[in-house]
Amino acid sequence: MNMDKQQKDIYVIYGDRSAEMARAVLTAMDIAAELKALGKEKPLIGLKPNLVVAQPSEWGATTCPQLVRGVIGYLKEHGFDNLIILESAWVGDCTHRAFQVCGYQDISRDLQVPLIDLKKDEAVQVEVEGLKFGVCRQALAVDYLINLPVLKAHCQTKLTCALKNLKGCIPDSEKRRFHTLGLHRPIAYLNKALTAHLTIVDGIIGDLTFEEGGTPVRMNRVIAGRDPVLVDCYAAELLGYRIEDIPYIKLAAHLGVGSTDLTEDRVIELNSKREAGVPEPALSSDTVDYLKQWIIEDQACSACYGSLIHALMRLKDQGKLAKLKEKVYIGQGFKEKKPKQQDQPAQGDQWDNLGMGQCTGGFPRHVPGCPPRASQIIKYLLKT
């Protein structure tokens, strides 16, 4: 099979033994031959998991460490040992703590693979279609980048998988700015500036509600492909979305990052779905849509927005959400604003609105933090 044809293939394997599944996918794709074709004696291979928060993978938010062990095992067995693991936790969380809690310090120690905290890396300025932004130097320096996202929903973009996972390769200041730009366009542009040569999706346990985890769903599958746009097309379908529902997918395709031409014959299943051992998940965004009726958002960062969604979900589970009679304001768009609600009387020269996070510090009532913890939000909302 020629490489052009392989470029359009999606590989899927079912089960719960993630290390073995990773090896099987890499073998089927003959990644060792692809790496040898680079023509470098010791190519620098970067592994980019999703360690957005310091939570075990069983919570549905972070990449399974056993999957990464399987990838590293395959690479080393084929003579590729110049490896690094790169990541930057989301704004407000500590990458070092995520490495520890998620089991990656053990991987580093056991398999002699350095951990690179991209929060401490310097940025290189790049430009795509007139948009200038910084990308972490170490991410740009690797010869071959393996993207290891989790298959999960996102409270703002609906999906976070292959394309969005590269957001961990930019500085925190750019993560905030990406939100002010609406996320979709900069995510697509980032993938034009930074190439993921291979994507291996952890679909063992994900979260079909939002990216922070906490409502895990076991899906027992690994998905792989060389085309991150095609991978996201497939992932979107699994979560019940059309590619039109997730603008950054088509934007990335327009930039030449990949193709949206997903056809059934391009999906190669390496074993039977029966190997998954669980029924197909029921995929719905109804819960998030329900929670959004309490939120007024303007350029909110994912970390802050995710904490609020998490808090509202917990209140819903406790039967207390219906008692919240006002909307909650959140996002960078409210930094200098004190928005007026038509049904609220004036409070001096301010309006009595409820804000979440540091950006709503000018509100008469707000929960501080960047981002605030869900527990803080719950505690505050229960007082209102």
Q: How many domains does the chain have?
A: 2
How large is the average pLDDT for residues 312-324? 84
Kindly state whether residues 267 and 318 are assigned to the same domain.
no
Nearest to 302 by CA among 179, 207, 189, 135: 179
Q: Tokens representing 112?
A: 């002699």
Q: How confident is the model at residue 303 (pLDDT cuts 50, 70, 90)?
A: low
Q: What is the pLDDT of residue 342?
A: 46
What does the alpha-carbon distance between residue 208 and residue 247 come to, in Å, rounded to a whole number?
A: 19
| Cβ neighbour number for residue 343 with a 10 Å cutoff | 5
Residue 210 is assigned to a structural domain of this protein: yes
Among all chains, which residue has been given the structure tokens 């590293």? 72
Cα angle for residues 23, 35, 122 (degrees, 5° grid): 100
Q: Decide if pLDDT at 278 tops 70.
A: no
pLDDT of amino acid 283: 38
Q: What is the mean pLDDT of residues 317-338?
A: 85
Between 41 and 279, residue with greater pLDDT: 41
Strand locations in the chain (E): 10-14, 45-49, 83-87, 115-117, 123-128, 131-136, 144-148, 152-154, 158-160, 198-207, 216-225, 267-269, 295-297, 328-330, 346-347, 350-351, 354-356, 365-367
Name the residue among 327, 325, 332, 341 with its Cα closest to residue 361. Answer: 332
Contact in structure between 306 and 211 (CB atoms under 8 Å): yes
Strands 267-269 and 10-14: parallel
Please tell me whether residues 31 and 109 are part of one structural domain.
Answer: yes
Which residues are registered as beta bridge partners of 126?
133
pLDDT digits (tens, 9 = 90+) for 158-179: 889 999 999 999 999 999 999 9
pLDDT at 341: 54
- Token code pair at residue 67: 């999957």
Domain that residue 370 falls in: 286-381
Residues 266 and 313 in one domain: no
- State how far Cα 147 lies from the chain centre: 11
**pLDDT above 80: residue 251:** yes
242 and 295, same structural domain?
no
Q: Is 281 domain-assigned?
A: no
Residue identified by tokens 């540091």 is: 358
Q: Are residues 222 and 324 in the same domain?
A: no
Q: What is the pLDDT of residue 92?
A: 81
Instruction: Give 57-108 pLDDT, tens digit per residue.
Output: 998 889 999 999 999 999 999 999 999 999 999 888 899 999 999 999 999 9
d(CA 294, CA 301): 17
Is 315 part of any domain?
A: yes
Q: Which helix (H) or strand (E) holds 306?
A: helix 302-317
The total of other beta-carbon atoms located within 10 Å of residue 41's CB is 7
The CATH number that applies at residue 253 is 3.40.50.11440
Q: Are the CB atoms for 178 and 191 separated by under 8 Å? A: no
**Separation of alpha carbons 190 and 127, rounded Å:** 9
- Assign 345 a pLDDT band (cuts: 50, 70, 90): very low
Whether residue 351 contacts residue 341, with contact meaning beta carbons closer than 8 Å, is answered with: yes
- Give me the mean pLDDT over the 198-217 stretch: 82
pLDDT above 50: residue 313? yes
Look at residue 267 and tell me whether its pLDDT is greater than 80.
yes
pTM: 0.81
Query: Tokens 């056991």 sit at which residue?
Result: 110
Residues 222 and 92 grouped into a single domain = yes
Residues 6 or more apart from 77 whose CB is under 8 A from it? none
360 and 321 belong to one structural domain: yes
| Same-domain status, 189 and 333 | no
Answer whether residue 128 shows pLDDT above 50.
yes
Tokens coding 172: 């925190």
- 1 assigned to some structural domain: no
232 & 128 share domain:
yes
Number of residues that this document lists for the chain: 384
